[in-house]
Amino acid sequence: TSTNGIKTSKYNPFTFLPLNLFEQFQRIANAYFLFLLVLQVIPQISSLSWFTTVVPLVLVLTVTAAKDATDDLVSKPVPPLQTFNLNNLFPVLRLRSEKWMDVQVGDIIKLENNQFVTADLLLLSSSEPLNLVYIETAELDGETNLKVRQALTVTGDLGEDVEKLADFNGERFRMEEDVTHFLFLFFGFAGPETKLMQNCGKSTFKRTSIDRLMNVLVLCIFGFLAFMCVILAIGNCLWELKAGSQFTVFLPRQDGNSAGFSAFLTFWSYVIILNTVVPISLYVSVEIIRLGNSFYIDWDRKMYHPRNDTPAEARTTTLNEELGQIKYVFSDKTGTLTQNIMTFNKCSINGKSYGDVFDYAGQRLDITEHTDPVDFSFNPLADPRFVFHDHALVEAVKLENPEVHAFFRLLALCHTVMAEEKKEGELSYQAQSPDEGALVTAARNFGFVFRSRTPDSVSIVEMGEQRRYELLAILDFNNVRKRMSVIVRSPEGKLRLYCKGADTIVYERLHQSCGKLMDVTTEHMNEFAGEGLRTLALAYRDLDQEYFSQWKQRHHEVSTSLDDRDGRLDELYEEIETDLQLLGATAIEDKLQDGVPQTIEQLAKADIKVWVLTGDKQETAENIGYSCNLLREEMNEVFVLSGNSPEDVRRELRSEHVGTEQEGCGRPSSPPGKRGKVLPDEAVNGEYGLVVNGHSLGYPLERSMELDFLRTACMCKAVICCRVTPLQKAQVVELVEEYKQAVTLAIGDGANDVSMIKAAHIGVGISGQEGMQAVLSSDYSFAQFRFLQRLLLVHGRWSYLRMCKFLRYFFYKNFTFTFVHFWYAFFCGFSAQTVYDEWFITLYNLVYTALPVLGMSLFDQDVNDKWSFQHPELYLPGQLNLYFSKKAFFKCALHSCYSSLVLFFIPYAAMHDTVRADGKDVADYQSFALLTQTCLLFTVTIQLGLEMSYWTAVNTLFVVGSLVMYFAVTFTMYSNGMFLALPSAFPFVGTARNSLNQPNIWLTILLTSILCVLPVVTCRFLFIQLCPTINDKVRQAKTKDPPLPRRARIRRTSSRRSGYAFSHAQGYGDLVTSGRFLRRPAPSRSSGLAHAGRSTTSFSPMGRSAGYSPTGRPQNAKVQDVEVTSLQMYRSVRDPAL
């Protein structure tokens, strides 16, 4: 029988060794060393002892295996499955407690309040009215708000009747945690088939561009190795023909070996000797460095968010240096740029603006944490989290200013919020959108407390006095109307219509008498909008009973009619919402996360392009674009792409091209679809922004137009795509990846960002909230968007720098090491004689040079973090791949070539025919080997010192320690004791003592090392003087402390008028007023489950200022990106195809 257990680990203790070894040997480098090992055991070929390969290979395999094992142990924290008990209702009509892992598909389950759910379920019935359940899907998609799910009438009516439920034969549905008392569920998918597992299924293995480059380089190196070996083999052949054949007297030669055969053997012998050009320890070292740099990210206090105790986390340890090369950042909006907290900040009531704080001189003060908040203690029902600073408004309320009272009464009545009062006086609201919640909470604090509602009444506490308003009609919000109204009868019997909506819409419907008030209010609203606040205009109208009864009658007729009901309803609403009296306006702040504008400014300075991809409306998105500094007033133009057909979009794209005054702006004549084509960056005069609408975005993402689109988009400083689906998010990212040879980063917090996070080279998840989905599929996670600048500008830059320095130096030291063999070949009859002692060859990479270079790659920083922030331009070299490229690699090789020539020929010439000071031999092979290897080690160490720009004590310890280690190991291996123990393993006995006490040996070492380094110093110095890079300049300047960054508050003087505060879907007016289910046709959405990755929110809790989430988690809740209500969504799920 199949089990529901989900398995995410790769190994078990028994399979680990074979599986891991198998995997490791699939790596080309490891396989190559295995091959070398085979070569080395062939006596005719073996030019080195077996241990020279075995020791490094074993070490590398061990380190990698250890890392793999730990990775496997800690990988993928999937929600635990086995630990929860639940009541499992079997078709045999018994309720039984089961573990989740034992539940089978087809079981019917009874869940109780606050139980976890780990499978896809279909809701059958619930204890709540209307068979509603509230579920939280945080574990699935990161959204903390409660979502409404409703059972079908058919099943809902079955209630708790177990027998009937057992007869049920239906479809499936996905459920999560509920706050309902109990519910019955039908068990749909289990185990690996759950949506969760299907969704997080295949994450592609990400590689960095350096990785890819390294693979190419390693192939090149293989080619080069073969080339060198061929040359040496040819040399051997010639030598054999010319000299060797005569030298046979003294050489141990078997008969019948032709020169050709000898050359063949020599080729393989040299493959063994020169193998160090393909450094086996490279990969391991790279992994260690990345791991180290990942730890720095985990450890960084400046990326730790104390409010929810969340440190940054590098979830992938293989992508670090790519963080230093980001060119495009794709960001989600809600929860990433914004906190999804709406705060009631300001308002304008009857021509008077409230919300600003003035000092005695009448100067406007900035509101800081120290500004005195308004004391709401007069109101026992006030929400303590609500903060307001303008005392004038409270005074006005207390003075019973009628307009102010009407204003707040409207806010308390005109909404679709649900109130829950678990204990007396402890209210919590469930609002459909955070804006609405903010308004109702504001009214609550100012003494107009929305207490409860029934389908036909609303109870509020007005200045301590309980009043019940009869709710006669809700004229609900929708996207066309952009307003909502309620018609209520006050306890006194007065009929009144309250309306709130977008200013333009409301203004059209005002009574002429409001003209003057309109002007003042408009001015205020402009002011609010300039500060990036969202505004709503509020108005009311007194109705007379007769007119209303008549209207109500018609309303009833229309509601029950069958054809074009919605259209006719709208007309009817239109009719009654006229001659309104303006009350004022509210201003709600869609709170940005801390430091977002500054971060975006910094990223822009670092030439990182930020694209915002959001599910929000164009207007909202644009607004946020302005308020977070992405779009700016001073931009030459902000294009809007909102065509509804391919032709429109194409025309819009074309016209924008003209707008950018591209000279010779040739059409992309090359047929698009040519894969691998790279679109070059184009020079643009002026700054442009681009706003793309979701339905238009579909067209440019098609093959025929994507180049046009990309060209336009990339010429713009900022791009905002609104109303995009998760799939489109990923498509946009892929489009940029495909045509721009640029590194992309996607940052988001919700399940709708997962596709984008997976598609981008680097995915970043905003963590610290309940949601795990984005974080689970991300490579890095942290709590705040502003940490992105530290991740990129500091950690990324350092990682890139360190990795590049490491690679350059590593190749340098290995090439230098190896090339000396090549030169020596010309003096030893191409006989594959090594220049160095075999032990030195074994230990060179592992012991003598490993730690210094690791130290450099773990500690180096050209400039510290403060300077990195001060000069975001420092980030540019990474984007341009300047520090490690094919060119840089080639330079390394040339440098090595020079060094190796010096390293061979200086000792050669210095030792030629010379003797010790006592006349004895010092030009023998062993002394020469010792001399050359010592020269080499000094040279590469000094070179390392030149590379290192940040000498910590650890670095000094490593460098000096390695040199000391070299001499210690050398003297030990060349000691009498070692030789006596194993004569054939340590034949170099005495060499160190006999040659290193000679002054001319040391003079040779000095000469060689200095000669290797001098040209480098000269070149660098001259380059710094003649064409200094930005790094040189900053390094030069950094001897002083960086000037403190100005933390000037960004004041926008915007003339833009923001949109209305509703950003949400069709309202819940119907649900509120109806006692029965909705009977609206389901919208033609393809499939509910297919969209389930997107949020389908209904009631979302609000933020801190008005936080009343039933789960007590007020922050960063998520607004819905999609306009399908959960009820509609639910209907669409009933697609029988499922």
Sites for other proteins among residues 1018-1047 (CB under 8 A): 1018, 1020-1022, 1024-1026, 1028, 1032-1033, 1035-1037
Residue 274 has what DSSP assignment?
G
Q: How far is the CB of 247 from other proteins (least distance, A)?
A: 4
Between 193 and 232, how does the x/- string for binding to other proteins read (CB under 8 A)?
----------------------------------------
Residues annotated within a binding site for Mg(2+): 332, 334, 749, 753
Of 468-476, 500-508, 911-919, 1056-1064, the window that binds other proteins (rule: CB under 8 A) is 911-919
Residue 760 has what DSSP assignment?
S
Task: Scan residues 310-329 and list those touching other proteins (CB under 8 A).
Answer: 310-311
Give the 3-state secondary structure of residue 738: helix
Q: Burial level of 178, CB count in 10 A (0-12/13-18/19+)? A: buried
Any idea which residues carry the catalytic annotation?
332
* C-alpha dihedral, 365 to 371 to 373 to 374, nearest 10°: -50
Of 116-124, 143-151, 903-911, 1124-1132, the window that binds other proteins (rule: CB under 8 A) is 903-911
Q: How far is the CB of 953 from other proteins (least distance, A)?
A: 7
Task: Scan residues 812-831 and list those touching other proteins (CB under 8 A).
Answer: 827-829, 831
Q: Total residues at the site for other proteins (CB under 8 A)?
A: 101
Task: Scan residues 794-813 and list those touching other proteins (CB under 8 A).
Answer: 798
Residues annotated within a binding site: 332-334, 436, 477, 500, 534, 614-616, 723, 729, 749, 752-753
DSSP letter string over 713-772? HHHSSEEEEES--HHHHHHHHHHHHHHS--EEEEEE-SGGGHHHHHHSSEEEEE-SSS--
Task: Scan residues 522-581 and list those touching other proteins (CB under 8 A).
Answer: none
Q: In the numeric block, which tokens belong to residue 713?
A: 């988009």
Q: In the numeric block, which tokens belong to residue 58?
A: 């074993």
Give strand pairing partners of 122: 186
Judging by DSSP bridges, how do beta strands 418-423 and 364-365 pair with one another?
unpaired
Task: Scan residues 125-144 and list those touching other proteins (CB under 8 A).
Answer: none
Q: How far is the CB of 654 from other proteins (least distance, A)?
A: 42
Task: Scan residues 355-414 and list those touching other proteins (CB under 8 A).
Answer: 369
- Residue 266's closest CA among 289, 246, 239, 288? 239
Q: What angle do CA 980, 982, 988 make, to 5 degrees?
A: 80
Task: Check residue 288 for interaction with other proteins (CB under 8 A).
Answer: no
Task: Check residue 1000 for interaction with other proteins (CB under 8 A).
Answer: yes
Q: Which is nearer to other proteins, 58 or 1037 (CB)?
A: 1037
Q: Which is nearer to other proteins, 219 or 980 (CB)?
A: 980
Residue-wise burial string across 197-223, b where 16 or more C-beta atoms lie within 10 A, e elsewhere? bebbeebeebebbbbebbeebbeebee
Task: Check residue 983 for interaction with other proteins (CB under 8 A).
Answer: yes
Of 26, 363, 560, 984, the one binding other proteins by CB under 8 A: 984
Q: Which is nearer to other proteins, 84 or 908 (CB)?
A: 908
Task: Check residue 898 for interaction with other proteins (CB under 8 A).
Answer: no
Q: In the numeric block, which tokens belong to residue 878?
A: 């990474």
Whole-angstrom Cα distance, residue 1101 to residue 1116? 9
Of 300, 619, 706, 837, the one binding other proteins by CB under 8 A: 300
Between 849 and 878, how does the x/- string for binding to other proteins read (CB under 8 A)?
----------x-x--xx-------------
Answer whether 854's CB lies under 8 Å from 284's CB.
no
Answer whether 292's CB lies under 8 Å from 795's CB.
no
Q: How far is the CB of 421 from other proteins (least distance, A)?
A: 24
Task: Check residue 178 for interaction with other proteins (CB under 8 A).
Answer: no
Of 13, 306, 362, 1136, the one binding other proteins by CB under 8 A: 306
CA atoms within 13 A on the CB side of 1014: 7
Q: What angle do CA 649, 654, 657 make, to 5 degrees?
A: 130
Whole-angstrom Cα distance, residue 637 to residue 625? 14
Phi/psi zone of residue 990: left (φ > 0), alpha (ψ -120 to 50 degrees), beta? left
Of 474-482, 555-563, 1005-1013, 1117-1125, the window that binds other proteins (rule: CB under 8 A) is 1005-1013
Task: Check residue 880 for interaction with other proteins (CB under 8 A).
Answer: no
Of 906, 996, 1005, 1061, the one binding other proteins by CB under 8 A: 906
CA atoms within 13 A on the CB side of 154: 6
Between 6 and 45, how does the x/- string for binding to other proteins read (CB under 8 A)?
-------------------------------------x--
Residue 320 has what DSSP assignment?
G
Judging by DSSP bridges, how do beta strands 718-722 and 609-613 pair with one another?
parallel
Give the relative orientation of helices 259-273 and 209-239 as an angle to the nearest 10 degrees. Answer: 150
Answer whether 804's CB lies under 8 Å from 214's CB.
no
Q: Burial level of 534, CB count in 10 A (0-12/13-18/19+)? A: buried
Q: Which is nearer to other proteins, 302 or 1051 (CB)?
A: 302
Of 428, 914, 1073, 1111, the one binding other proteins by CB under 8 A: 914
Of 195, 979, 1042, 1056, the one binding other proteins by CB under 8 A: 979
Give the 3-state secondary structure of residue 277: helix
Q: How far is the CB of 302 from other proteins (least distance, A)?
A: 8
Q: How far is the CB of 56 from other proteins (least distance, A)?
A: 22
Task: Check residue 169 for interaction with other proteins (CB under 8 A).
Answer: no
Task: Scan residues 920-939 and list those touching other proteins (CB under 8 A).
Answer: 920-929
Give the 3-state secondary structure of residue 291: helix
Q: In the numeric block, which tokens belong to residue 688?
A: 């442009």
Amino acid at 99: K
Answer whether 1119's CB lies under 8 Å from 433's CB.
yes
Q: Which is nearer to other proteins, 505 or 954 (CB)?
A: 954
- Residue 709's closest CA among 652, 660, 643? 652
Between 957 and 976, how does the x/- string for binding to other proteins read (CB under 8 A)?
-------------------x
- Residue 789's closest CA among 612, 1032, 597? 597
Task: Check residue 289 for interaction with other proteins (CB under 8 A).
Answer: no
Task: Check residue 1014 for interaction with other proteins (CB under 8 A).
Answer: yes
Residues annotated within a binding site for ATP: 332-334, 436, 477, 500, 534, 614-616, 723, 729, 752-753
Of 125-133, 321-329, 754-762, 950-958, the window that binds other proteins (rule: CB under 8 A) is 950-958
- For 843-902, the three-class secondary structure string (H helix, E strand, C coil) is HHHHHHCHHHHHHHHHHCCCCCHHHHHHCHHHHHHHHCCCCCCHHHHHHHHHHHHHHHHH
Of 31, 1017, 1050, 1138, the one binding other proteins by CB under 8 A: 1017
Q: What is the CA radius of gyration of the chain?
A: 37
Q: Which is nearer to other proteins, 129 or 999 (CB)?
A: 999
Q: How far is the CB of 80 from other proteins (least distance, A)?
A: 20
Task: Check residue 774 for interaction with other proteins (CB under 8 A).
Answer: no
Task: Check residue 952 for interaction with other proteins (CB under 8 A).
Answer: yes
Strands (DSSP E) found in 381-525: 418-423, 426-430, 448-454, 457-462, 465-475, 483-489, 495-501
Task: Check residue 240 for interaction with other proteins (CB under 8 A).
Answer: no
Residue 1120, Cα to own-chain centre: how many angstroms? 20
Of 4, 338, 998, 1096, the one binding other proteins by CB under 8 A: 998
Q: How far is the CB of 957 from other proteins (least distance, A)?
A: 12
Q: In the numeric block, which tokens belong to residue 1057?
A: 């008028």
Of 340-348, 460-468, 603-611, 1001-1009, the window that binds other proteins (rule: CB under 8 A) is 1001-1009
Q: How far is the CB of 974 from other proteins (least distance, A)?
A: 9
Of 365, 1003, 1050, 1138, the one binding other proteins by CB under 8 A: 1003
